[in-house]
Structure 1
Amino acid sequence: MLSMKKLLKNRTLIGALCIVLSLVICFGLTPLFNSAMTAQTEITRVKSDIKKGEIISSDKLETITVGSHNLPANLITEKEEIAGKYALADLQKGDYVLYTKLSDTALAEFEYLSTLDGTKQAMSVTIKSFAAGLSGKLEAGDIVTLIASDYGDRRETYIPSELKYVYVLAVTAGSGNDKEYANDSGNSEDEERELPSTITVLVHPTQAELLADLEAKGRVHAALVYRGDKAQAQKFLNVQDKHIQGVQQDISAPAISDELQGGNAE
């Protein structure tokens, strides 16, 4: 009899706690969640299409009110911060404008060659097959791994540690036109579909020497590693630079895979 009373008492206590908890959720947490979900903010978005390299005028922008939940962290909300800047990529009607898509200075074809400071070099590598160049999907700014195949007398395939993370400066068709500017020169439909024949990469002299050897004695395949935020891309390049420094100093170079494990690239 005593145990039955104790059981009923425990059930009553648990039931009361459940009721209190449900009231806290209904009248406390739920309104806060709904408020966060329905919060509104003003942002600026593209009103009409903008071409890469075009200076952005105010009449091609519009201010709208949207939900503030889940907006990109690098979103530009003020029209004054966008107007007068240059587009780094094609922007379509309705697109949000991110800081990574704007430039303070006008774009110029082959401008990437004017940024060389003597520490690194620009070098082109032949894409000897459709698959070797990622089926025409590579773009400037990509981080790629360059893989050697059919190399030497033994026709070996391997990934040189010096070419694990390489920055793509340009992807160029046989006509000499970079992919990024193929649509700006009034090309015909056939010319616009022309496949890339080379990729131009940013390399140290040590990497350039190795690439020249691979080009002469085998084939080079490009595997996409990363495409996106410039700061994150630089982390891959920092790891590769550290490895190259180890090779040049003839010391035990750091393991590249370990450097990036857990997102700890410097």
Structure 2
Amino acid sequence: MNLFKNRTVVGVFCILLSLLICFGVTPLFNSAVSEKAEIVRVVKEIKAGDEITADMVQTAEVGGYGLPDNVIRKTDTVVGKYAAADLSIGDYILSTKLTDTPAAENAYLYNLDGTKQAISVTIKSFAEGLSGKLQSGDIVSVIAPNYNGQGATVIPAELQYVEVIGVTASSGADVDTGEDTGDEDQELPSTVTLLVTTEQSKVLAGLESDGTIHLALVYRGTAENADKFIAAQEETLASLYPSKDNGGTRETEANSTVNQSTEAESGVQ
């Protein structure tokens, strides 16, 4: 302790410490700060749920000091993935802001493979859409009052069994949980999106233009049995539009298959 009471010794110690900092620590720090790293940067606005394409991003060289460990460094890592959050021009892309699948609310639209189409119909009153209880996966029948201006209320043969793939409020948000949250501000369904063929979409577009559409729930349950209803409908379409298919069994046989499957499921329940 007496050694550090000597001013000369303390002075020499301080000088040596300063030299160590100037010629040892500082160069190492400067080297780390000046080190460059290649990262992926956003060059176009990207909204949450958007699929990222090559023209939306580019690589850029930036200072490597302080970069997060999960920053993306190669464009092929992000192209083809979906944004999990909004990204602005100039943003670095972090792995936590990417997802392999689109936003859940739009996922059903990314499953279209060209064999069928998605089309929405308007729910003009609360009752028309089953009082807001419809869910994705439901099988419904489309009821057309005053069909083709003939005054009769019918279920068109093309629309006996149709699958619901989305229920949407006027704001564009999906509201197809089928659950009452008790929230007074809960949004009510405005449209129902159906998975249909070209022929069915034409009939639906005509009904949407002409007047009121009612949706009646036919089946809610396992995907396996729901597919049997769709198969029955496809056989009906094959008989109505033979040029679109190689033919098919009679509609009554298809409906018999559906009835047997649902009766079996009811017995199990």
TM-score (norm 1): 0.53
Match for 1:169: what amino acid?
A: I
Taking a change above 3 Å as real, the CA distance of residues 219 and 176 of structure 1, as seen in their structure-2 partners, is: same
Displacement, 1:179?
0.6
Deviations 1:55-112 (Å, cap 9, x if unpaired)?
xxxxxxxxxxxxxxxxxxxxxxxxxxxxxxxxxxxxxxxxxxxxxxxxx978622110
Contact 2:133–2:176 (8 Å) recurs in 1: no
**In 2: Cα distance, 1:159 partner to 1:130 partner:** 20
In the other structure, the counterpart of 2:185 is 191
Match for 2:226: what amino acid?
A: A
In the other structure, the counterpart of 2:114 is 118
**In 2: Cα distance, 1:127 partner to 1:116 partner:** 23
Match for 2:126: what amino acid?
A: F
In the other structure, the counterpart of 1:254 is 251
Higher Rg of the two aligned structures:
2
Displacement, 1:219?
1.2
In the other structure, the counterpart of 2:203 is 210
**In 2: Cα distance, 1:181 partner to 1:133 partner:** 14
Contact 2:135–2:177 (8 Å) recurs in 1: no
TM-score (norm 2): 0.52
**In 2: Cα distance, 1:242 partner to 1:125 partner:** 24
Taking a change above 3 Å as real, the CA distance of residues 247 and 152 of structure 1, as seen in their structure-2 partners, is: closer
Match for 1:235: what amino acid?
A: K
Task: Kindly indicate whether residue 235 of structure 2 is the aligned counterpart of residue 232 of structure 1.
Answer: no
SS in 2 for 1:149: coil
Residue ranges of structure 1 left out of the alignment (5+ in a row): 1-103
Displacement, 1:131?
1.0
In the other structure, the counterpart of 2:261 is 263
1:241 to 219, 229, 234: 234
SS in 2 for 1:145: strand
RMSD after superposition: 3.0
Residue ranges of structure 2 left out of the alignment (5+ in a row): 1-99, 264-269
Displacement, 1:203?
0.1
2:105 to 109, 114, 123: 109
Taking a change above 3 Å as real, the CA distance of residues 119 and 211 of structure 1, as seen in their structure-2 partners, is: same
